[in-house]
Amino acid sequence: MEVIVPGRMLRYVVEVLLKYYGMDVNPEEFSVIKALRDELSPLAALISIILSQNTSDRNAIKALTNFVSRLGKRFDIDDLRKLSVNELEDMIRPSGMYRLKANTILNLIKKGVSNEVLIKENPEKLKELLSSIPGIGYKTMDVFLLMVRDYPTFPIDTHIRRVLARLGFIRRNEPYESIRAKVMKELPSSLYLKAHLVLIRHGREICKSRKPKCDSCPIRDICPKIDVMSR
């Protein structure tokens, strides 16, 4: 097993994975990237992240398509206000948990989270606003800030948590904020977005929850495979 200086471990892993997978990102695999590449409104981008909660990005994109078909690419909060709850839930339905997600979007409306607010508000104040909305957790907020506002933060999802835990970089049950702080300390901010995307891809394609493909893993020589053999 190759010896990597602890303080460089994560950056080394990210560099190896980026070399292995390349830099291309399929927008059909990330709902928010799909929203950005299609030049949807900031509010649409935020809703795409909400829709992706507890489902695949492909399902989230199906639901997002319903919003765009009904409201247009650059829809804003006033367009959402015109929808009935039933109409909103029907649009969300392909992404699952439609009642909970509809409630989150209704909370956005109540708080006045418009395109202007999402783009012009100071990032720190925007964090306070978004974190006060039921249904918007750390990950949803961090994904929006990183990808839409280019704000230096690092979203942690289930795939990233699993990959880092198997590497021994974190504990599997470690709090979100602790993981985020560790990652941000070790990686330069210029790598946050690339690292976020490539770690998710690695978790989806090779370092899977069940039956990980360790034999074909590009970092198998340095990975201690924590908690893999017992699964």
Residue 66 domain-assigned (yes or no): yes
pLDDT the model gives residue 158: 95
Closest CA to 163 of 230, 215, 224, 229: 224
43 with 19, same domain: the answer is no
Any idea what DSSP says for residue 4? -
CA angle at 133 for the pair 127 and 136, rounded to the nearest 5°: 75
CA angle 203, 137, 160 (to 5 degrees): 15
Number of domains in the chain: 2
Report pTM. Answer: 0.92
Task: Give domain status of residue 92, yes or no.
Answer: yes
Give every residue of the chain whose pLDDT is below 70, as ranges: 1-7, 229-231
Q: The CATH number of the domain where 119 resides is what?
A: 1.10.340.30
pLDDT at 155: 98
pLDDT at site 27: 85
pLDDT of residue 26: 87
Q: So what's the pLDDT on residue 8? A: 78
Residue 95 has a CB neighbour count (10 Å cut-off) of 26
Looking at the structure, tell me whether residues 206 and 119 fall in a common domain.
no
Angstrom distance (rounded) from CA 185 to CA 207: 23
The answer as to whether 229 is a domain residue is no
Q: What is the CATH number of the domain that holds 166?
A: 1.10.1670.10
Alpha helices in 54-137 (DSSP H): 57-71, 77-81, 85-92, 98-110, 115-120, 123-131
Q: Is residue 1 assigned to a domain?
A: no
Whether residue 11 is found in the same domain as residue 85: no
Evaluate whether residue 32 is within a structural domain. no
List pLDDT tens digits, range 58-105.
Answer: 999 999 999 999 999 999 999 999 999 999 999 999 999 999 999 999
Among residues 130, 147, 164, the one where a domain terminates is 147
Q: 210-216: list long-range contacts, CB under 8 Å, 24+ apart.
A: 212/166
Domain extent for 170: 6-25+154-216
Do 135 and 182 share a domain, yes or no? no
Q: Could you say which of 93, 125, 147 is where a domain stops?
A: 147
Q: Rounded distance, CA 206 to CA 208, Å?
A: 5
Residue 166 falls within a domain, yes or no? yes
Let me know if residue 85 belongs to a domain.
yes
pLDDT at 28: 87
Query: Which of 99, 127, 147 is the endpoint of a domain?
Result: 147
Calpha distance 101→47 (Å, rounded): 9
DSSP character string of 158-219: HHHHHHHHHHTSS-TT--HHHHHHHHHHHS-GGGHHHHHHHHHHHHHHTS-SSS--GGG-TT
